Amino acid sequence: MFNPPLYERLFSRSQFVLALTSPRRKQILLTNLGIPEEKILVIGSNFEENLQKTDVSASEYVSLTAKHKAQAVIDQLKTGRYVVMSSDTVVLCGDEILEKPSTPKVQLEWLKKYRQVGQLSVLTSVHFFLVSQGTVTNSVNDTEVTHLKFNESLDDAFLQSYVSLGEALEAAGGFKYQEKGSLLFKGMEGDYFNVVGLPVAKTLKLMDDLVPV
């Protein structure tokens, strides 16, 4: 079993709580970060994710959303010791902050916008909190940014074919890069894992910062 000293510091006396329900993020924690499944308790946040997008940057917006997700779960943890993690992902295209498309029509509009602009950025904010007896004793957070170049040669029929798959209505930006959504792009600058749900290197560093030696 993969059990580095960092994980001993994190989990020997604390329950690891995910304040999210994304199966992809949980899978990255299990497969890529090697956190044992028995250490993970999923408590989905009831935060509505309806913050105003005006007068805030994309980085501020995604960080605030992740923070509120965690706080909604922390409020339920009155006894015991916990490491609480939350995250949120948005896409920035031009000056527009995009989350999950509400309909296939909106999804297609977004893909056409990506084609017109030519590039977009994926931002994922990750937050960690140490909680003891209902009180936050330490917290760390950071936001990872990955830039994608859209394939401008794709025609409307191709974009419609992708939308018709129905694979990404629940995904930030309306595409799943780890699946057929990769066909929409011709280049990437930054962390692949950030695009598919959780920046691995950033997450590991934050865990280390949360409980320094």
User: Could you write out the DSSP letters of every residue in the chain?
Assistant: ----HHHHHHHSSSEEEES---HHHHHHHHHTS---GGGEEE-----------TTS-HHHHHHHHHHHHHHHHHTT--SSEEEEEEEEEEEEETTEEE---SSHHHHHHHHHHHHHH-EEEEEEEEEEEEEETTEEEEEEEEEEEEEEEE-TT--HHHHHHHHHHT--TTSGGG--TTTGGGGGEEEEES-HHHHHT--HHHHHHHHHHHS--
| Chain position carrying tokens 């992902």 | 89
User: Which of the following is catalytic: 55, 75, 88, 191?
Assistant: 88
209 is catalytic: no
Mind telling me the catalytic residues?
88
